[in-house]
Amino acid sequence: PSVRELIPTHTGKPPVLAARLNANENPYGPSDAAQKAVIESVVRGNRYAWKELFDLVDKIAAKEGVTAAHIMMGPGSSDLLEKVAMVCFKDGGNIVSADPTYMSIVQVAKAVGATWKAVPCKADWSHDLKAMEAAVDGDTKLVYICNPNNPTGAITNGKELYDFCSRVSEKVPVFIDEAYIELAEGADTQSMASLLAQKKNVVIGRTFSKIMGLAGIRVGYIAAQPEFIERIGKITRGGMGIAYTSIYAATASLGDQNFQAMTKAKNAAAKKYIYGELDRLGYRYIPSYTNFVLFPIQMQGKTFLDAMAAKGVGIRVFEIQQQTWCRVSLGTMDEMKLFVSSLQTV
Ligand code: PLP
């Protein structure tokens, strides 16, 4: 396995940053509607929000074209990645995923006793689906696909992924993490949720943290076959960790198409700007279908991270295939300008 994230300078309390470009957050959220919903619902915080949670589940189920029994909610999709890992790997087994990819589920799977079968991405950083299918064996308990992928920002073709999921889910559950799918433009980026209607054993992970701008308000969900949801629900309770106010914020955000369109447009503009500046400065970058861009740097990783932080710019640094990479989230235009001017002087 080749991916390794360098420990950010801020282990412990994070530094005050003028440009927070290290966590792929939405710089424009929460939307006005979500803020209003939080404020108006706070007085009901003495109650458990069961009814409101079920109402939200109904709305999500309708959106995904499934029943409420196909949905499990969580305080962010991290919670569900962890729950799925704990339940699926409590008796060992292996997890198949790309390398590099988002490591949350792999880390928890390993921590409870699983082994990681890491399959290197292809030269264009898409998933090597053929190699991943070949890596599935009798001990495989889950395949994890993050599309678009983090930290690369790369996309795997939707049609090829659909065929892969169709076949492989006959043998083992396939988890498709679609945290950034709403931001993917200019490629075949269909959601794999349509496979649920065909009774395929897929698990779709979605979050309100990115396009809806609710990272700190914490709402996410998985959509899967009811039997899979029941299996997770036997050990852990979905939705129990979500605050009343968060449920209201998520409900308000779900229907807020204007906010999502605004986020998409501004994200596209920031991406265009950063591509232009990286071109001008002679950096190669991986074309991104997300709200972040990954590009190789020559400087020693920790030195770069510290130097950028000293200028008030938070980014992430990864070691991938013996190369140091900077991952910069797409923030506001002012933040991007500060990032570029800092990059030029470190
Ligand atoms: N999945 C991917 C691919 C992510 O990049 C992230 C966060 O950055 C998450 C899941 C978790 O997000 P949250 O727990 O906020 O839903």
The 10s digit of each residue's pLDDT in 204-213 is 999 999 999 9
In this prediction, residue 237 carries a pLDDT of 86
pLDDT tens for residues 8-34? 544 566 667 899 999 999 999 999 999
Whose Cα sits closest to atom 4 in ligand 1?
A: 179
- The CATH H-level (homologous superfamily) assignment of domain 4-24+258-345 is Aspartate Aminotransferase, domain 1 (3.90.1150.10)
- Report angle CA 327, 249, 262 to the nearest 5 degrees: 55
First vs last C-alpha separation in the chain: 30
Average pLDDT over every residue of 77-93:
97
Distance between Cα 281 and ligand 1 center (Å): 30
**Site to substitute for ligand 1 among 72, 97, 150, most atoms within 8 A of C-beta:** 150
SS3 string, the chain, reads CCCEECCCCCCCCCCCCCEECCCCCCCCCCCHHHHHHHHHHHHHCCCCCHHHHHHHHHHHHHHHCCCHHHEEEECCHHHHHHHHHHHHCCCCCEEEEEECCCCHHHHHHHHCCCEEEEEECCCCCCCCHHHHHHHCCCCEEEEEEECCCCCCCCCCCHHHHHHHHHHHCCCCCEEEECCCHHHCCCCCCCCHHHHHHHCCCEEEEEECCCCCCCCCCCCEEEECCHHHHHHHHHHCCCCCCCCHHHHHHHHHHHCCHHHHHHHHHHHHHHHHHHHHHHHHHCCCCCCCCCCEEEEEECCCHHHHHHHHHHCCEECEEEEECCEEEEEEECCCHHHHHHHHHHHHHC
- Identity of the amino acid at 234: K
Average pLDDT over every residue of 99-126:
98
Work out the burial of residue 207: count CB atoms within 10 Å of its CB; fewer than 13 is exposed, 13-18 middle, 19 or more buried: buried
Domains of the chain, by residue range, sit at 4-24+258-345, 32-254
In this prediction, residue 103 carries a pLDDT of 97
Distance between Cα 208 and ligand 1 center (Å): 9
Averaged confidence pLDDT in the chain: 95
Distance between Cα 127 and ligand 1 center (Å): 18
CA-nearest of 301, 315, 339 to 4 is: 301
Average pLDDT over every residue of 114-121:
98
Q: Are 35 and 196 in contact (CB under 8 A)?
A: no
Average pLDDT over every residue of 277-295:
98
313-346 residues labelled b (16+ CB within 10 A) or e (exposed): bbbbbbebeeebbbbbbbbeeebbebbbebbeee
In this prediction, residue 186 carries a pLDDT of 82
Distance between Cα 179 and ligand 1 center (Å): 6
Q: Which are the contacts of 96, defined by CB distance < 8 A and separation ≥ 6?
A: 117, 119, 132, 135, 136, 140, 142, 143, 144
In this prediction, residue 225 carries a pLDDT of 98
- Identity of the amino acid at 207: T
State yes or no: pLDDT of 227 exceeds 50: yes
- What tokens were used for 253? 């955000």
In this prediction, residue 337 carries a pLDDT of 98
Distance, in Å, from the CA atom of 194 to the CA atom of 33, rounded to the nearest integer, reads 29
In this prediction, residue 188 carries a pLDDT of 80
Pocket of ligand 1 (CB under 6 A): 24, 76-78, 102, 146, 150, 177, 179, 207, 209, 215, 220
Angle of helix 77-88 relative to helix 104-111, nearest 10 degrees, comes to 30
pTM of the model: 0.96
Distance, in Å, from the CA atom of 248 to the CA atom of 37, rounded to the nearest integer, reads 6
Class of the domain covering 32-254? alpha beta
In this prediction, residue 9 carries a pLDDT of 45
Distance between Cα 253 and ligand 1 center (Å): 17
Distance, in Å, from the CA atom of 31 to the CA atom of 35, rounded to the nearest integer, reads 6
Average pLDDT over every residue of 217-227:
98
CA-nearest of 128, 125, 200, 121 to 161 is: 128
- Closest approach atom of ligand 1 to CA 210: 15
Which of the pair, 188 or 121, is modelled with greater confidence?
Answer: 121
Q: Are 316 and 151 in contact (CB under 8 A)?
A: yes
Q: Which are the contacts of 115, defined by CB distance < 8 A and separation ≥ 6?
A: 93, 94, 95, 139
- Closest approach atom of ligand 1 to CA 209: 15
Distance, in Å, from the CA atom of 179 to the CA atom of 69, rounded to the nearest integer, reads 21
In this prediction, residue 10 carries a pLDDT of 46
- Closest approach atom of ligand 1 to CA 81: 10
State yes or no: pLDDT of 284 exceeds 90: yes
